[in-house]
Amino acid sequence: MAGRRVRPDGSGNAAHPSRHEDIEMKCPRGRSVALLLVAIFISASCGKNKQNLAAEAPPPAQVVHEQNFSVVGVDHPEQFPVTAAVEHEAVSQLVVTGTVYPDIDRNVSVISLASGRVIDIHARLGDTVHKGQVLLRVRSDEVSGGFSDYRKAVSDELLARQRLNRAKELYAHGATAQSDLEMAEDTEENAKITLQATAEHLRLLGNDPDHPSDVVDVVAPISGVITDQQVVAGGGVLGLSSSNPFTISDLSVVWIVCDVYENHLPDVHVGETADIRLNAYPDQVLKGTISNIGAVLDPTIRTAKVRIEVRNPGFLRIGMFATATFYGQKKEVQTAVPATAILHLHDRDWVYLETQDHKFQRVEVVSGDQLPDHMQVITSGLKPGQMVVTNALSLQNTADNE
58 φ, ψ (degrees, to nearest 5): -70, 140
Over residues 379-401, the pLDDT tens digits come to 889 999 999 999 988 888 887 77
Exposure string (b/e) for 14-39, b if CB count within 10 Å is 16 or more? Answer: eeeeeeeeeeeeeeeeeeeeeeeeee
For the chain, which residues score pLDDT lower than 50?
1-29, 50, 53-54, 65-67
| Amino acid (one-letter) located at 116 | G
Domains annotated on the chain, with CATH: 71-89+332-401 (2.40.420.20), 95-103+249-330 (2.40.30.170), 110-136+219-248 (2.40.50.100), 141-213 (1.10.287)
Over residues 198-215, the pLDDT tens digits come to 888 778 777 777 777 778
Query: Do the strands 215-219 and 116-121 form a parallel or antiparallel pair, or are they unpaired?
Result: unpaired
pTM: 0.53
Residue 171, SS3? helix
The neighbour count for residue 225, using CB atoms within 10 Å, is: 17
Rg over alpha carbons for the chain, rounded to the nearest Å, is: 48
DSSP string, 199-246: HHHHHHTT-BTTB--SEEEEE-SSSEEEEEE---TT-EE-GGGS--SE
Q: What pLDDT, on a 0 to 100 scale, did the predictor assign at position 34?
A: 55
Q: What pLDDT, on a 0 to 100 scale, did the predictor assign at position 9?
A: 46
Contacts of 122 (CB under 8 A, 6+ apart): 133, 134, 135, 136, 137
